[in-house]
Structure 1
Amino acid sequence: AALHARYPVALIDEFQDTDPLQFGIFDRIYRAEGRHGSLFLVGDPKQAIYSFRSADLFTYFAARDRTDARYTLRHNQRSSPALIEACNRLFGANPAVFMMGGLDYVRVGAGNRPRKPLIDDTVDGEVAPLQLWRIPRDETLAEDDEGGGARLPRAVALHRAAHASAAEIARLLAAGAQGRVRIGERPLAPSDIAVLVRSHGQGARMRRALAAFGVGSVELSQASVFHTDDAEELERVLLAIAEPLRERRVKAALATAAMGRDAAALARLAGDEAALIGTLDAFVRWRELWLSRGFGVMLRQWMSDEGVAARLLARPDGERRLTNLMHVAELLQQDAGTATPEVLLRTLATRRRDAAGGEATQLRLESDRNLVQIVTIHRSKGLEYGVVFCPFLFDGYARSGSEGPMRAWHDDDGELVLDYREAAAKDEEVKARLRRERQAEDLRLIYVALTRAVHRCYLVVGSYATLSFGRVSHTEGGRSLLNWMVAGAGMDAEAWAEHKPSPVGTDACWRALVAASPLDGRPTMQLTDLPDGQREPLAPPDTAGQRPRAQRPPQLPAGWRIGSFSALISGAAQEQAALDHDANALDAGELAALAPLAGDAGAVAPAAPADDDILRFPRGPVAGDCMHAVFEAADFTDPGGWDAAIAAALAAHPQRLSADRRQRERPTRGAQQDEAARLPRMLRKLLADVVATPLLAHAGGDGLRLDSVPPARRLVELGFHLPAPRLTAPQLNAWLSAHGYRMPRLAFHDLDGYLKGFIDLVFEHDGRFWVLDWKSNHLGNRPQDYAPARLEAAMQAHGYHLQHLLYSVALHRHLGRSLPGYDFDRHFGGVLYLFVRGVRPGWQIEGRPSGVFHHRCPRATLEALDALLAGTADAPALEST
């Protein structure tokens, strides 16, 4: 009822792809008692081709039967009038063309959309828009029973159909380059041509045939990249890197296209022990890199060492192979995380076995150049192409259905049956129903394929031969669904399944169809024998005397984009402000110059920290990520789980003490084991110190401590998007200066979009909400190095003031929308920036904890910044100084 009240009218497109559950939901919303809303269902049952995604055409029929009114689009706005009439004749030859009761072919007329004509000056007279290529006789086979001659065997017919199509495409493109084949006044281009296929295997066959004629192509497919040869070869390489001392695996990897060793090279390697050891050492190095720096770094190093990109791109299908390789690598990198090589290889093996991989795994375009497109019929749905080739629709080979424990079929009332019976596998009635439903969907696929063309469509038809025990048979080829469309009239599906058509009779039906097809005296179909595919390859474009020249990059206006604190600060005047996590941290001398402390001059060097002191922990962005990971995962109130959080953080972000420091401090054979034990001790002591430190301690009070904050009162990595429709660097610079926040001068490009960020920690304590950010910067080894003046210097130098202001605006907006009765003065605690190397209970400066920066900007200041970001207020003008 609530959905109906909110959406009183609904229109659902592509409704032929619905399923029983989907329709049940909408039927309940719009047809329940007392409600009869406006529900519009738009769909073409002739294009229902997604049963593998649970689409159920019988549900569409049931919904159609319950509608109040039906409307039909009776004009085709895509194709030329002659091609529309050809399809009308072809699909109208058999009244039961779609093999399903309730699904008929309705003649359509030409729409009024203007179409530029296809002009072909390579032939005399008009060319029929539907070109039918009949499978010819094979003189090498014995005569059939009717004396009509045996047709080409299936394998030969498939090969010849691909090469005939490729040869014709090369001819059309050569003529187009000469201006003799045009669409309107524009020469026919490769992108005007599409070859429609059922499977990735058919697409690969067609791609090879086009390459043989010098025609570039690009494949659009819903096939999973994990089912390609490139995924299999990458798996071989990764198996060898994971176990580099297994010689057989290494040789299998070397034999892949990516590594390029042929049989002769492998034989030489087997006889050269020094070369073999050097090769195995390379695989060992890649494994060590995988373990120390991750999958992505290792893969890039392997590709660089082996020249993989150059080797693949030298192949005729190189762009396709390299695209597949990089696609698989990207998906594996997403899975990698903290996975060991063994775990990632199991993941790869599983994904290669999966029947469906999801949208992310569908084959990507390998190029955006002007190329002939090879498209699966499923993916072509809804698209149009000037000239279409359908070389493989004649194939009558029956594909098997599901091999799983369940079979889905429909009873006589159209109800879906999910049949888990073991006997169903041998039930002839069930098998017949499954066969009819598969054939009916295949006929709808043919309909989709033949209605994609605007001007011309090439279709291979007729019977082919199969050989069984030395005898020639035309039964399989004769029963193909294309032949059902022209020769199956008067039979039902069961009779057709038992029918034994002859090639002579089938050819006669095709000739009769063509003879009756002219429209106003102009041909709509033409039937000829399948060409032999013999012609010269397409000449490469004439580039003699031309030198490659880079084009000038276009001047694009700044568009809608997503910014962040890092993006805003990255162009600031001081380079140190670019990154966080101690990446470009100022050293103690620079900080002292920015914020000198009393007693710094002539001060005695501090005592060396203890071995397990966090001050000895590695520095840099990876070390900062490691500390952040510990604080994110640890329960501050339960030390019993800290060791697991620390172990996970070190596994995800491995750390090493510098080599010179290890040699200076532990010049013993046990240095490596000692280091492995010291790193967790450092992090545990850090965690214990930070959570036990009173963060807002005043004289006589304990203040706020993190070990009193349970997990239920904290949010880790709270993400936000702040609308920022008109934010400029001069505006923000002026605002920060006017409100007393000193930091490097910003120089980012104008932002029209959103500011994105993640707050390290938001927590609630005593009714107040706090923003907390962990800072791993190493500012020195003394408490004084983490005094308020030094922290302020670091906040200014790194631009952290802008960061905590953005975080405050985000939390202020969030609380205003989600906390009933929110009041800034009562609920907003402020921001805490913890420079964690200096946060410990025993370190205080004038009664204040070292390493703790606390700020709570006034409400008016925060709301002024909120208005500036939202584009509803202007920044104050800067006075000249």
Structure 2
Amino acid sequence: MAETIPLNPITLPLNQISLIEASAGTGKTYTIGSLYLRLLLKAGENNFSRSLNVEEILVVTFTDMATEELKKKIRERITDAIDKLTAFAETQDKSAFKNDEFLTALCHDLNIFEAIHRLKLAEQNMDLAAIYTIHGFCRRMLMQYAFHSGIHFNLELIKDQSDLLVRFANEFWREHFYPLDFESANFIATELVSPTNVLSLLKADLGKDLQVEIENKQALSVPIQIFLPQYLGGYQKALNELKAFWLESADEISAIITNELEKDYPKDQLKSLNRKKYQVKRLGDWINKINQWSNNPRDYQINTTLKDYFLQSSIEKNCEESTDKNKDKKPATPFYSPIFAELEKRVNALMTPDLLSKLTLYHYRQGLQQKLLDYKLNHQEKSFDDLLRLLCEALQGAQGDELAEMIRFQYPFAMIDEFQDTDSQQYAIFSKIYRDNPEKNTGFIMIGDPKQAIYRFRGADIFTYLKASDEAQYRFELTKNYRSEKHLVDGVNALFDFPQSPFIYQNINFTAVDSRDDHLRFYLNGKAEPAYRFYLTESDKVNKTEMAKICAISIQHWLKSAVENQAVFQNEDTCKTLQAANIAVLVRDKNEAALVKNELQKLGIASVYLSDQNSVFDSNVAKELAWVLKACLNVAERPILNAIATALFGLNAADIHQIQQNEADWQRWADSFAQYQQTWQRQGILAMLHQILLEQGISARLLSQATGERDLTDFLHLSEILQQAATLHESEAALLSWFEKQIQGEGRQEAQIRLESERQLVKIVTIHKSKGLEYDLVWLPFLAVPSKDPSKKDINIYYSKERDETLWDIENRNLNALYEETFAEELRLLYVALTRAKYQMAFALPSQFDKKWNALHYVLSQGEIGKEINLSDSKNTETLLQTFKEKMQDNVEICTKPNLEALTALSINTKNDDLKAAEFTGNIEQDWRITSFTSIEQAHRRQHYFTESVGKKHAVFDDAKDYDSQNSIEISTALLNENESNILDLPRGKQVGTALHRHFENCYFSDLANTEEIDKLRQSLQLDETFTEPLQNWLQQISHTPLSNEIGIALADLANKDCIKEMPFYLAIREYFDVEAFNRALKAHHHLPSEPLQFEQIQGMVRGSIDLVFRHNGKYYLVDYKSNFLGSILADYNQEALKKEMLHSHYDWQYLIYTLALHRYLQSVVPKYDYARDFGGVFYLFLRGMNGEPQSGVFYDRPSVELITELDGVF
């Protein structure tokens, strides 16, 4: 392992594999920006071999928000560097750098004017910068190098695959559990409960390649069809035999023990049974309980009374024990009976129900994963996890070395931010691309902080990070904290800098960091506040409500002082008054957030929970809105009364009673809802809901309440969702039914609750969400809550150092490793929490720590409490804090009896700031647009054949991608006979073309005649079953028709990995589409007598979609399917007829555009690509004419190099 040294951004080697460990607040993003500038300018020592463009510098992070932030910061660094270098070029005075040490040092080796030029170019091209999330990078590589990755071009990314998981979980449950006998089904229903419950247990780890640690490997290797009868059924059979044996032996057992209890023993002999435990009266109760258990087929657990008192080992343990009073007596002779030994043998032979349940979960997991994999092999949907898996598999596959080389060629340098959140699959991807590079002409930097690895629940793997860090050629660390005031930095140093492994693992070190000297300090009522303020409750137990209350009152006092300008951040030059938005309360989850929010609300303090992941459908507003919609749909007394009784209308019981009694009042409400119903039917649901909002004064009513902004935001959010959903439902009733199902959670769409306000509010945020952020003042009210016992979970996962992989400890044999991992992450989470504040942190703690492990307890004791979940002793909190205070002196304040008293509730300010809409003063380019060749060809027809009917002409693209020229389908009612030519009478029109294209896209070419898919095709064409066999024969002929005598290949011969189906493209027009130049190129180099194109000049892009691109013998070909009807006999599809149709429909224009698009694509992804050598040609397949004979129905052309080269200059 390389030695860790302080980082100097000027001298860091850029052509090696390096690791940068960036402690919290040490300027990680600034460092990335500095290295980015060096790469753009080829500057500094140990620089890269050449200057790079923004498109060549890969920067990867893990979230969309972090990606946008990185882009913004890097752009700002480039702009700042341009400004400073420009000022320096004009003055030659280094004061132009404004104390920017990095640029000052960098400029020594720069050609300043060339540097400014390159930076301005980079600034202009920042929208092209290769700054992506890890999933965005994987998706881009899979699609860009589709031939090497084997991925469909029309990959559809699904953010949430919950619906698929629910579907497959239900399928598995039905397939394997419905046929079970009663006792086994009872076990499943009790242990696994339901498919929904199983998913809740498995979902978090479903995407992981998880190995299982168990002694009985056989139980894992058998398929579920064998496991259930052999293990679950076998358990029930053995259990029933045990119960039967007990019932047969119960009387004998009673007699044996009764005889033993009545037996006389010599006075100097201890008894074989402890008669304080074993008594005749108790014996009868015990036997009755076990008899009831034996007669209950639903009870599959081993009876505890049986285990504790009637097994041979239990009886031997329950002999009379020696005490001080009877220590002179002879030891008891162990009581033995074959019947107890037999009971023990039978019990020990049974697998525990807990293990059996987990094994069933394992097989359920395997089945779910296989169903997902099978589905995704045949469909375009891919999840985020799939993107990583597919790219990793592609890189490890047969063409992996070539794919890695192409990615390196595209991105010779890569920086991976937040690398501590990586996993083994992600590291395998970058390791293959950069670490395994034999030419060493690339650079790779991993940037992270193992002390902040807190996303284990998302799959992050700290052990992968540690392994990667060992493999780095250079290791650097950032050693100065720029975020926090000096005394806060000193406090973190004091808490974590101790020899007892502050983060549990030896290879996660803590290095004390320096701080800035020019920070502001927090002053309250004229006095400098300590960096750390601890409030100790009078209770020695953790009371979250009390802690939340202390937190809220403390914040109220801060804000009260701020109103009087007595709460400020200041130094010699600056003074800023505290505002509510400067305060953050860090919590673990939404329950803790709710406690704090509630206490703040009581004191009139508005707050916002920034980590709210709830669905808007779970809100009270959603339920109330459902009542309102019911009334609008059904204008009757009961629905209207239910609607106006909701909080939205603000009526009380007396108001509603008055409306019922007063006919005029009632009629007004009935008329209003009748009007709302008409608005819904005529203008849509959004217009209706806005009408209700305005007429009923709902906005003002809600905003006058403490939770008003939250409720109004939910109302408007739901209104938008309903408007979008309305387009998918045929009636108002169907829409309401869908809305009610969403509220109930059935097939729910993603609808995360929106932030209600961005005003000056106290922020409540989870510690996880706060990572990477900073706040002026931080409150941590719940840090003393003890750690949860991780062994209580159904799936316990830990990292095995011996096997170097993550294991499911199904038998709980390695709990110590599990505890270590849990406690280590708790400490990392504590570190994140303690490094968010800039000026002060406040805590609420009990007077005594709990006897369960806690991270803050661990660091305050400097590791003395050890690593056991249950502690032998609890520490006095004040004693621990005094030790900390001795190191920190006046910068720690301990309040043993908080004298905080709530002040009068602050008034909630609902007044909005005066806002003004921004005005756009830029210039919008009107003639830039994205067009298709459909538009170009149709414009040509309008101009060239103005006097003719447009309906008689064929378009290159029509609405159904030119699948046929007819606008309506003509279904033939005549049955096909066995004469193959009658397939030419297949119905015509767009629907036929669309269905055939979909069939070709969804099927392997070797399986085009698949019966199941043929049935789908037949049904989509509205044909009866008599068409099945002719369709099968025809598609068999199509797939086996030789496309060319020269290359000797048919569709059926194509491997799926060599095909890209439905390849979309956007062909950039470099300046303007020059129609005259296009016509000149065709006239000079096109062998077909195509007529001149007539079209106005355009600029922008031409889009299209190629039906099929395939690779054969190193050459690339494009294919387009045509279902055009050319005649009723095969002779109508001969080569002369096809050529005539190609020209008549201008399909030659189409394939020239396709060829140019494919040519440009291949240039970008195929190393050393050469059109003359690598492009094979174009096939247009007129499907009705393909009968299995060579080239039947096939038009082929290969545009000349000269033509494509000239067209490349036209577009």
TM-score when normalising by structure 1: 0.57
Matched, 1:380 2:747: no
Q: 1:571 & 1:410 partners in 2: Cα distance?
A: 63
Q: Which residue of 127, 130, 140 corresponds with 2:529?
A: 127
- Shift in alpha-carbon separation, 1:591–1:778, aligned structure 2, 3 A: farther
Q: 1:570 & 1:229 partners in 2: Cα distance?
A: 47
Mapped contact 1:763–1:769 kept (Cα < 8 A): yes
Q: 1:649 & 1:185 partners in 2: Cα distance?
A: 77
The letter of the residue matching 1:128 is P
What is the CA-CA distance between 1:392 and the residue it aligns to?
1.9
Other-structure match for 2:885: 514
Q: Which residue of 110, 114, 117 corresponds with 2:520?
A: 117
SS in 1 for 2:841: strand
Mapped contact 1:841–1:849 kept (Cα < 8 A): yes
1:709-858 alignment runs, 5 A limit: 709-710=1051-1052, 712=1054, 715=1059, 717-719=1061-1063, 724=1068, 727-728=1070-1071, 730-733=1072-1075, 735-739=1077-1081, 742-745=1093-1096, 747-749=1098-1100, 757-762=1104-1109, 771-773=1118-1120, 795=1146, 804-812=1151-1159, 824=1172, 828-830=1176-1178, 832=1180, 857-858=1199-1200
Q: 1:711 & 1:686 partners in 2: Cα distance?
A: 20
Other-structure match for 2:835: 451
- Shift in alpha-carbon separation, 1:859–1:153, aligned structure 2, 3 A: closer
Q: 1:702 & 1:512 partners in 2: Cα distance?
A: 86
Q: Which residue of 86, 95, 102 corresponds with 2:491?
A: 86
Q: 2:879 & 2:1170 partners in 1: Cα distance?
A: 83
Q: Which residue of 558, 573, 586 corresponds with 1:196?
A: 586
| Aligned residue pairs, count | 704
SS in 1 for 2:1108: strand
Q: 1:632 & 1:792 partners in 2: Cα distance?
A: 27
- Shift in alpha-carbon separation, 1:67–1:853, aligned structure 2, 3 A: closer
What is the CA-CA distance between 1:864 and the residue it aligns to?
1.8
1:148-167 alignment runs, 5 A limit: 150=539, 154-161=543-550, 163-164=552-553, 167=556
Percent of aligned pairs with the same residue?
A: 20
- Shift in alpha-carbon separation, 1:124–1:421, aligned structure 2, 3 A: same
Q: Which residue of 422, 441, 454 corresponds with 2:825?
A: 441
Of 441-450 and 192-201, the range deviating more from structure 2: 192-201
Q: 1:455 & 1:388 partners in 2: Cα distance?
A: 8
- Shift in alpha-carbon separation, 1:624–1:20, aligned structure 2, 3 A: closer
SS in 2 for 1:441: helix
Q: Which residue of 9, 23, 34 corresponds with 2:17?
A: 9
Mapped contact 2:972–2:986 kept (Cα < 8 A): yes
What is the CA-CA distance between 1:211 and the residue it aligns to?
6.1
Mapped contact 2:936–2:1095 kept (Cα < 8 A): no
- Residue deviations 1:68-90, cap 9 Å, x none? 99765443232111221233344
What is the CA-CA distance between 1:460 and the residue it aligns to?
2.3
Q: Which residue of 913, 917, 920 corresponds with 1:553?
A: 920
What is the CA-CA distance between 1:780 and the residue it aligns to?
14
Other-structure match for 2:608: 217
Q: 2:969 & 2:804 partners in 1: Cα distance?
A: 80
Q: 2:722 & 2:576 partners in 1: Cα distance?
A: 40
- Shift in alpha-carbon separation, 1:457–1:636, aligned structure 2, 3 A: closer
Mapped contact 1:718–1:759 kept (Cα < 8 A): yes
What is the CA-CA distance between 1:679 and the residue it aligns to?
8.4
Q: Which residue of 529, 533, 536 corresponds with 2:905?
A: 536
Matched, 1:49 2:454: yes
The letter of the residue matching 2:845 is V
How large is the Cα RMSD of the aligned pairs? 7.3
What is the CA-CA distance between 1:449 and the residue it aligns to?
0.8
The letter of the residue matching 1:745 is E
- Shift in alpha-carbon separation, 1:451–1:370, aligned structure 2, 3 A: same
Matched, 1:462 2:462: no
What is the CA-CA distance between 1:445 and the residue it aligns to?
1.2
SS in 2 for 1:422: coil
Unmatched segments (≥5 aa) in structure 2:
1-13, 22-417, 634-638, 658-668, 730-736, 956-967, 975-983, 1083-1091
- Shift in alpha-carbon separation, 1:825–1:229, aligned structure 2, 3 A: same
- Shift in alpha-carbon separation, 1:123–1:808, aligned structure 2, 3 A: same
The letter of the residue matching 2:922 is Q
Of 18-27 and 191-200, the range deviating more from structure 2: 18-27
- Shift in alpha-carbon separation, 1:591–1:10, aligned structure 2, 3 A: same
Q: Which residue of 703, 706, 709 corresponds with 1:316?
A: 709
What is the CA-CA distance between 1:774 and the residue it aligns to?
5.2
Other-structure match for 2:91: none
Mapped contact 2:1122–2:1180 kept (Cα < 8 A): no
Q: 2:826 & 2:647 partners in 1: Cα distance?
A: 37
The letter of the residue matching 2:536 is R
- Residue deviations 1:700-734, cap 9 Å, x none? x9999x9964262784534366784x723x34445
- Shift in alpha-carbon separation, 1:543–1:414, aligned structure 2, 3 A: same
- Shift in alpha-carbon separation, 1:215–1:408, aligned structure 2, 3 A: same
What is the CA-CA distance between 1:448 and the residue it aligns to?
1.4
Mapped contact 1:82–1:524 kept (Cα < 8 A): no
Higher helix share: 2
SS in 1 for 2:528: coil
Matched, 1:100 2:504: yes
The letter of the residue matching 1:758 is S
Q: Which residue of 874, 878, 885 corresponds with 1:500?
A: 874
- Shift in alpha-carbon separation, 1:818–1:104, aligned structure 2, 3 A: closer
What is the CA-CA distance between 1:125 and the residue it aligns to?
1.7
Q: 2:598 & 2:1018 partners in 1: Cα distance?
A: 49
Q: 2:808 & 2:1192 partners in 1: Cα distance?
A: 70
What is the CA-CA distance between 1:569 and the residue it aligns to?
7.5
The letter of the residue matching 2:1016 is A
What is the CA-CA distance between 1:25 and the residue it aligns to?
11
Other-structure match for 1:466: none
Q: 1:54 & 1:765 partners in 2: Cα distance?
A: 40
What is the CA-CA distance between 1:438 and the residue it aligns to?
2.5
Other-structure match for 1:422: 811
SS in 2 for 1:860: helix
- Residue deviations 1:273-322, cap 9 Å, x none? xx9xxx9xx9xxx9xxxxxxxxxxxxx98888877997999853348758
Q: 2:478 & 2:855 partners in 1: Cα distance?
A: 26
Q: 1:174 & 1:775 partners in 2: Cα distance?
A: 76
Matched, 1:862 2:1204: yes
Mapped contact 1:408–1:418 kept (Cα < 8 A): yes
What is the CA-CA distance between 1:450 and the residue it aligns to?
0.5
- Shift in alpha-carbon separation, 1:322–1:192, aligned structure 2, 3 A: farther
SS in 1 for 2:909: coil
- Residue deviations 1:19-77, cap 9 Å, x none? 78999999999899xx9x99988664433434445666577778889999976544323
SS in 2 for 1:102: coil
What is the CA-CA distance between 1:261 and the residue it aligns to?
13
Q: 2:880 & 2:840 partners in 1: Cα distance?
A: 22
- Shift in alpha-carbon separation, 1:263–1:760, aligned structure 2, 3 A: farther
Q: 2:1006 & 2:533 partners in 1: Cα distance?
A: 77
Q: 1:448 & 1:647 partners in 2: Cα distance?
A: 56
SS in 2 for 1:108: coil
- Shift in alpha-carbon separation, 1:499–1:329, aligned structure 2, 3 A: farther
